[in-house]
Copies of this chain bind each other. A is one copy, B any other.
Amino acid sequence: MQNFTRTNFEHLEKVRNRSIRVARSCKDLRDRYDEREDGVYYLTTGNGMLYQTYCDMTTAGGGWTLVASVHENSVYGRCTVGDRWSSQQGSNADLPDGDGNWSNRNTFGTVESATADDFKNPGYYDITAEDMSVWHIPNNFPLEFWNMEAAAVLRYHTENRFLRLYGGNLFQLFKQYPVRYNVGSCGDRGPAIPIVYDHGDKESTRMLYGPNSRREFEPGFITFRAINWESAAMAICSGVKPTVGCNTEHYCIGGGGYFNPEEQCGDFPSFDYDRLGKEQGWSASKEMTEAAVLLFYR
């Protein structure tokens, strides 16, 4: 049972040697060292803190750094342990920001577990970027197969360099548009940015959310900081722009620390409203509900 073949060894040696690179993003690795292979690389922050993450060196020219994943560990949870992208303190109006991870420097998880648990690395706040790419990958899917296009439920990227207008990353963008309970009303949404599809299209995006939700949004966008009728804030509406109505808890992810009713509180706030993964009423599809949302910068 030889599990460490020569090929394996040579591959690992190559990966090990990558660690001598000094780069602050996958784009740096591509531009400066001409790295062209998807996989795990070392990066360092401006202060010299080292970490490992995944680089997509292929899509639309490559140079995409994985900085975070949003993973719903339990739609039955209500802002309980594991809801790091909303709150782990229970739905509580005294904590309008919840855990605050959309706009602080906390980090958690590892790159290889990014489809099995929440992940946030220092690149989230340290990299200055222009565009974003988003991959919805089924829960527990292994890293070595993430880049198979067919694996993804949905994949897209922006190309209008919108992050230039918002400080260069989500850490800065969400300072301007706080993910906070009671910060404004439904009309006070953040930017909605047009997307270019890498897997899926507008019609397939529509079908990923519940029939009732489909009446409320337009596909082909990524939207930041939505607010629902009950003044709860969400961070990202992936693939869509809310247009009519404000029931964004059924199709936007992440959140502040308070939702009413409290069973909506969580990383995928109320994707299971009319029954988990049944794609009826307001409920999102099973594939969407059981996929992690991987966020990349370039």
- Does A76 have its Cβ within 8 Å of any Cβ on chain B? yes
- Partner pick for A89 among B20, B48, B82, B111, CB 8 A cutoff: B82
Pair B144/A3 contact, Cβ less than 8 Å: no
The size class of the interface chain A forms with chain B is 35 or more
**Of A21-29, A149-157, A218-226, the one touching chain B:** A21-29
> Is the contact region of chain A dominated by helix, strand, or loop, or is it mixed?
loop
Tell me the A179-215 residues at the B interface (CB within 8 Å). none
Pair B107/A47 contact, Cβ less than 8 Å: no
Neighbouring B residues of A48 by C-beta, 8 Å? 11-12, 15-16, 18, 39-40, 52
**Of A112-120, A237-245, A280-288, the one touching chain B:** A112-120
Least distance between A57 CB and chain B CB atoms (Å): 14
**Number of copies of this chain that the complex holds:** 3
- Does A130 have its Cβ within 8 Å of any Cβ on chain B? yes
Pair B105/A76 contact, Cβ less than 8 Å: no
Pair A117/B128 contact, Cβ less than 8 Å: no
**A111 to B50, alpha carbons, bound, how many Å?**
11
- Identify the A interface with B (CB < 8 A): 1, 3-4, 8-9, 11-13, 15-16, 18-20, 22-25, 28, 32, 39-40, 44-50, 52, 73-74, 76-77, 80-82, 88-90, 92, 94-95, 99-100, 104-107, 109-113, 115-117, 122, 127-128, 130, 140, 142-144, 161, 164, 168
11 contacting pairs across A/B (C-beta < 8 A): A1-B164, A3-B24, A4-B32, A45-B112, A49-B52, A73-B99, A76-B94, A80-B90, A106-B113, A106-B116, A112-B122
Additional A-B contact list (12), CB under 8 Å, known A76-B95, A100-B116, A105-B142: A3-B25, A4-B25, A4-B32, A11-B48, A12-B22, A12-B44, A16-B44, A40-B49, A74-B89, A74-B95, A81-B89, A82-B88
